[in-house]
Structure 1
Amino acid sequence: MDCYNMILLYTLQSQPQLIGPSQALVARAGDDVILPCHLEPAYDVSTKTLEWTRSSLDPRFVYVSRASQELEKLKNPSFKGRTSLFVDELKYGNISLKISKVKFADTGTYKCFIPDLEKEALVKLVVGIDKNRGGVVLQCESAGWYPEPELLWLDGEGNLLSAGPTETLRGPDDLYTVSSTVTVEKRHSNNITCRVQQRNTNQSRETHIHLKRTYRTLKKRFVFVICYLFVICVFVFLLNRLFCLFVNKCLKLELFLYIEQNYNSC
Structure 2
Amino acid sequence: MDGLVLHFLPGTITGLVFCLLLTHYCKGQSESVDSLQPIVARVGDDVVLPCQIKPSVDVSAATLEWKRSNLFVLVWRTGADFKRQKDPSYRGRTSLFPDELKHGNVSLKLSDVKLSDKGTYRCYVVEKNREMFVELVVAPGCSPVISLSGMDRDRGGVVLQCESRGWYPEPEVLWLDAEGHLLSAGPPETVRGPDDLYTVSSRVTVDKRHNNSFTCRVQQNNIHQTREAHIHVPDDFLLSSSSSADGIMGRTVPVLPIITGLAVSLAVSIMVILACVFFVWRQNRTKTKKRSRDKAEKE
**TM-score w.r.t. structure 2 length?**
0.43
**TM-score w.r.t. structure 1 length?**
0.48
